Protein backbone atom coordinates (compact mmCIF):
# COMPACT_ATOMS: atom_id res chain seq x y z
CA UNK A 1 0.00 0.00 0.00
CA UNK A 2 1.24 3.47 -0.89
CA UNK A 3 1.12 6.49 1.37
CA UNK A 4 -1.26 9.28 0.48
CA UNK A 5 0.32 12.26 -1.25
CA UNK A 6 -0.14 15.76 0.16
CA UNK A 7 -2.14 17.49 -2.56
CA UNK A 8 -2.15 20.87 -0.79
CA UNK A 9 -1.59 22.31 2.67
CA UNK A 10 -4.91 24.13 2.69
CA UNK A 11 -8.47 22.78 2.64
CA UNK A 12 -10.67 23.00 -0.43
CA UNK A 13 -13.75 25.11 0.27
CA UNK A 14 -16.54 23.83 -1.98
CA UNK A 15 -20.25 24.55 -2.09
CA UNK A 16 -22.03 21.27 -2.74
CA UNK A 17 -25.58 20.29 -3.57
CA UNK A 18 -27.29 17.46 -1.69
CA UNK A 19 -26.04 14.06 -2.82
CA UNK A 20 -23.20 11.56 -2.68
CA UNK A 21 -19.56 12.43 -3.37
CA UNK A 22 -16.26 10.55 -3.46
CA UNK A 23 -13.35 12.35 -1.78
CA UNK A 24 -9.84 11.60 -3.02
CA UNK A 25 -7.98 9.89 -0.17
CA UNK A 26 -4.78 9.17 -2.14
CA UNK A 27 -3.79 12.72 -3.13
CA UNK A 28 -3.24 11.70 -6.77
CA UNK A 29 -6.48 13.04 -8.30
CA UNK A 30 -6.23 16.01 -10.62
CA UNK A 31 -8.14 18.15 -9.97
CA UNK A 32 -8.54 17.76 -6.20
CA UNK A 33 -10.46 17.13 -3.93
CA UNK A 34 -12.69 14.55 -5.64
CA UNK A 35 -11.74 11.09 -6.88
CA UNK A 36 -10.77 10.76 -10.54
CA UNK A 37 -9.68 7.12 -10.37
CA UNK A 38 -5.98 8.03 -10.07
CA UNK A 39 -5.71 5.82 -6.96
CA UNK A 40 -5.78 2.62 -9.03
CA UNK A 41 -2.90 0.37 -8.00
CA UNK A 42 -2.03 2.45 -4.94
CA UNK A 43 -3.93 0.36 -2.40
CA UNK A 44 -5.83 3.50 -1.35
CA UNK A 45 -9.49 4.12 -2.07
CA UNK A 46 -11.80 7.15 -2.18
CA UNK A 47 -14.14 7.88 0.69
CA UNK A 48 -17.82 8.30 -0.03
CA UNK A 49 -19.72 10.98 1.86
CA UNK A 50 -23.25 12.31 1.56
CA UNK A 51 -24.87 15.66 2.19
CA UNK A 52 -28.56 16.08 2.95
CA UNK A 53 -28.62 19.78 2.15
CA UNK A 54 -26.70 22.33 0.11
CA UNK A 55 -23.72 23.65 2.08
CA UNK A 56 -20.13 24.80 1.94
CA UNK A 57 -17.69 22.20 3.23
CA UNK A 58 -13.94 22.31 3.77
CA UNK A 59 -12.38 19.15 2.38
CA UNK A 60 -8.95 17.96 3.46
CA UNK A 61 -6.26 18.12 0.79
CA UNK A 62 -3.27 17.22 2.97
CA UNK A 63 -4.77 13.74 3.53
CA UNK A 64 -3.78 13.82 7.23
CA UNK A 65 -7.17 14.73 8.73
CA UNK A 66 -8.45 12.63 11.61
CA UNK A 67 -11.97 13.43 10.36
CA UNK A 68 -11.82 12.66 6.63
CA UNK A 69 -12.99 13.91 4.25
CA UNK A 70 -13.29 17.11 6.25
CA UNK A 71 -10.38 19.36 7.22
CA UNK A 72 -9.47 19.29 10.91
CA UNK A 73 -6.46 21.63 10.69
CA UNK A 74 -3.86 18.83 10.46
CA UNK A 75 -2.19 20.67 7.57
CA UNK A 76 -0.89 23.27 10.04
CA UNK A 77 1.53 20.67 11.48
CA UNK A 78 3.08 19.79 8.10
> What are the residue boundaries of the structural domains of the chain, listed by start?
12-77
Whole-structure pTM value = 0.93
pLDDT of the residue at 40 = 95
pLDDT at 1 over 80: no
pLDDT at 32 over 90: yes
Using only the alpha carbons of the chain, give its radius of gyration: 12
Give, as one character, the DSSP assignment of residue 75.
G
pLDDT at 2 over 90: no
Q: What is the dihedral of CA 52, 21, 3, 7, to 10 degrees?
A: -100
> For residue range 47-62, what is the model confidence (pLDDT) as tens digits?
999 999 999 999 999 9
Amino acid sequence: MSDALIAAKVPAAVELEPGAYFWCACGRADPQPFCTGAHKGSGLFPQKFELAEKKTVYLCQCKQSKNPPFCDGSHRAL
